[in-house]
Chain A
Amino acid sequence: MSSETEKILTTDGIPLEESLKQAEKKNKIKAFLLVAPLLLFLIITYMIPIGDMFSRSIDDKMVTNMLPKTYKAMENWDGKELPPEEVFEAFYLDYKILVKNKTAGKLQTQLNYEKNGFKSVLKKLARKQKKFEEGNYKEQIMKVHKRWRNVEYWRAIKRRAPSYTYSKYLKGVDMYSNEDGKIVQVSEDRRIHRILWIRTVEVAFFVTLFCFLMAYPIAHLLATLPMKYSNLLMICVLLPFWTSLLVRTASWMILLQQQGIVNDFFVWTGLVADDNRPEMMYNKTGTYVAMTQILLPFMVLPLYSVMKTISPSLMRAGKSLGATPAVAFFKVYFPLTIPGIGAGCLLVFILAIGYYITPALVGGASGTLISNQIAYHMKSTLDWSFASAMGLMLLTGVLVIYWIYNKLVGVDNIKLG
């Protein structure tokens, strides 16, 4: 036996390790070049947008940049009493430029977020400042509106001094940091986001559950039927999958509306009275029905791929050993399908938690989810930083679920096909 420290040499005298590296180098480069486009694609379309989203969600440079002199002057102000003359002067000079450049509106909006009623005060100042004389700006500004004598407003300005903020994240869970810098909940009637988060998780959970309950027998049938029939059934599963999402959602709208086919059928069978047709759309019911149908293939396919690998002789073995069909199913078959269940549930849950189109179309007011809220801020209020913050919270939530899942089941157990 050769000693362990002795290096093995090739016939040419080069250390074996080095020689192996040399020989594999070319292949490694080739392999890297082959995946490079994908890597680049991922970086451009995935990593960079997420990074951008993050920086946008905490970005608060706008106010900082609009009032550079003010914030410089404020550095020495302890915030307990009204600020000294230099701060007033600096604020006047900053604000004058903003009014001149016609960008004062943005500042007004931003500061109004911080302190209600700031907008009107600033607007008045914008009108009056043209007639200001040089010197003693404190007196002049305070004369414009009595609120300038209130230290609260100056504190509000100072709070916006840092160029980064986590206030958007707090807003996402219906909290804010108050004048004293404490994090508190918003008043009860304004807590809308928390309801949406809970509803989103609830809808995603139940959609996953319904998908699982419906997909399990289908997948089992697919895996056990003879090829001739299973192919047909597979097409039935996949056909909706290939149909446009919008078309499918629209067709659910036709089916579920109050004068729709499902309601007509209920009335025809006498299940409900004609003048008392249930509302199945523009509420949670509609969201549940349509999302379950749309996400069903994502549950069926992983389950099917796992079930396909389970030998039918295992169930037979279970029965021949004396287990009733039910016991054989739960002790033998079911545990073997867990990797498929895990994959399917994770897939459906993650898709459902960020679902947008379907709840937007059939969800109505009580069926909209957090993604609809994000879209609302993207398109209507143009508060992109808040939309980014909520998007990232959603992403974090998904990652947390994935982590928990990994702890419980183990990602190695996932089988997607």
Chain B
Amino acid sequence: MSKKADFVKFDKVDKSYDGKVLVVKDLNLDIEEGEFVTMLGPSGSGKTTCLMMLAGFETPTNGEIFLDNNPISNIPPHKRGIGMVFQNYALFPHMTVFENLAFPLKVRKMSQEDIEKKVDKALSMVSLGGFANRMPGQLSGGQQQRVAVARALVFDPAVVLMDEPLGALDKNLRESMQYEIKHIHESIGVTVVYVTHDQGEALTMSNRIAVFNDGKVQQLSSPDKLYEEPVNSFVAEFIGENNTFGGEVSEISNGTCKVKLEKGEIIANPISVKSVGEKTTVSIRPERALINPKDKMDNNQKGKIEEVIYHGDHTRVRLNLLGNSEFILKVPNSSQNLDIKLGNEINIGWNSHDARALDPK
């Protein structure tokens, strides 16, 4: 069976709650069958609204959502067959773990035997085999989370939605749960739509990430592309760390452009600039700029070290470079004896390919 490329499809979806402001604007999004897609964005960017529309708890103001080529706007939530994991787990506190998992099967009128089999399987999938008779209140946050995941999967839904499911967990648990959810996804191949505001989570888990801002998808691509090749300055800023220079394009030729800053000039990769005189923001990832580069790089500048922060595996160095006093460098803690001391002037080099000239902020 070939995978459908547009298993879930948002087609020109608008959503407004009050008739004045659009929280989701002209959303077009195709999600492949079996894919793990994350909707990432700051709070208020419309990502949860999208999820709620897909689940059926909100109706699109305009446009249509398709699930397996069927329009679903007029189908009530309970007939959509979409599993959902909620932010606060939403386990039924008056039912045992078993009853919680059996709930979706019971309403589907399955036989007791099948129910027991399926619940057992789902519980062992999240490694909570012996917990069937506990009440949710007797479980830790991480265990409750697993029950919630198992419950959303136990009735074999075509799509599972997860709304910031790890938000309430502490850092270590969150990370291990990320891997666990990822592994579950890989092993059963269900389509997952995941909402989070945590970029680390999104990068770790997803096949593709849709970065939301201001009700629009800013970029939809794989985690590595999103990080390496952001298409606009919002994405560059939102995902990972980022050094920026604001300036004006002074020269543009095949594959490179020159950007005139307040002090000096740099060579950059023209992504969203087309002509001379355009304003632009140039974005460089901290790890792409090197100190005293051995290989020849087409950008070479001198900067003064203003702050050095030891981070264990790496050292963060804040420089004043070309009038930008917030220029961050990440120096790996290898044995290389670099002269990073407060107040020193050092040589910084980077390739113009990594300096992406994006839309102005």
Contacts and interface: CB of A to CB of B under 8 A. Distances in A.
Contacts of A321: 78, 83, 103-104, 107, 151-152, 155
Interface in A316-375: 316-325, 327-328, 331-332, 335-336
Contacts of A316: 55, 57, 77, 84, 86, 90
From DSSP, what is the main secondary structure of chain A's interface residues?
helix
B77 A319 contact: yes
A289 B70 CA distance: 52
A323 B107 contact: yes
B103 A323 contact: yes
Contacts of B151: 321
A317 B163 CA distance: 12
Interface in B86-145: 86-88, 90-94, 103-104, 107-108
Contacts of B55: 316, 320
B90 A322 contact: no
A314 interface: yes
Most buried by B among A313, A322, A328, A335: A322
Given A327-B107, A331-B103, A319 B90 contact: no
B76 interface: yes
Given A322-B81, A327-B107, A311 B88 contact: yes
Contacts of A319: 56-57, 76-78
A412 to B, nearest CB: 14
A314 B136 CA distance: 13
B104 A336 contact: no
Contacts of A313: 86-88, 90
Interface residues of A, number: 19
B107 A317 contact: no
Contacts of A320: 55-56, 77-78, 80, 82-84, 152, 161
A324 B88 CA distance: 22
Given A320-B84, A321-B151, A332 B92 contact: yes
Contact of A317 (B76, B79, B92): B92
B291 to A, nearest CB: 50
Given A313-B88, A320-B77, A322-B78, A336 B94 contact: yes
Given A316-B84, A317-B86, A324 B92 contact: no
Contacts of A327: 107
A322 B107 contact: yes
Contacts of B88: 311, 313
Contacts of B56: 319-320
Most buried by A among B55, B57, B76, B161: B57
B191 to A, nearest CB: 15
A105 to B, nearest CB: 66
A322 B79 CA distance: 6
Contacts of A331: 103
A317 B82 CA distance: 11
Contacts of B79: 322
Interface in B27-80: 55-57, 76-80
A324 B78 contact: yes
A325 B76 CA distance: 9
A113 B161 CA distance: 80
B108 A322 contact: yes
A322 B88 CA distance: 19
A311 B90 contact: yes
Contact of A314 (B81, B92, B104, B155): B92
Nearest to A335: B94
A327 B107 CA distance: 8
A337 to B, nearest CB: 10
Nearest to B55: A320
Most buried by B among A311, A317, A319, A335: A317
Given A313-B90, A314-B90, A323 B78 contact: yes
Contacts of B76: 319, 325
Contacts of A318: 92, 103
8 contacts: A316-B90, A317-B91, A317-B92, A318-B92, A319-B76, A320-B56, A320-B82, A332-B92
Given A321-B103, A331-B103, A336-B93, 4 more contacts: A324-B78, A325-B78, A328-B78, A335-B94
Interface of B: 55-57, 76-84, 86-88, 90-94, 103-104, 107-108, 151-152, 155, 161
8 closest pairs, A vs B, by CB? Answer: A321-B104, A317-B90, A320-B84, A313-B90, A319-B77, A323-B107, A313-B86, A319-B78
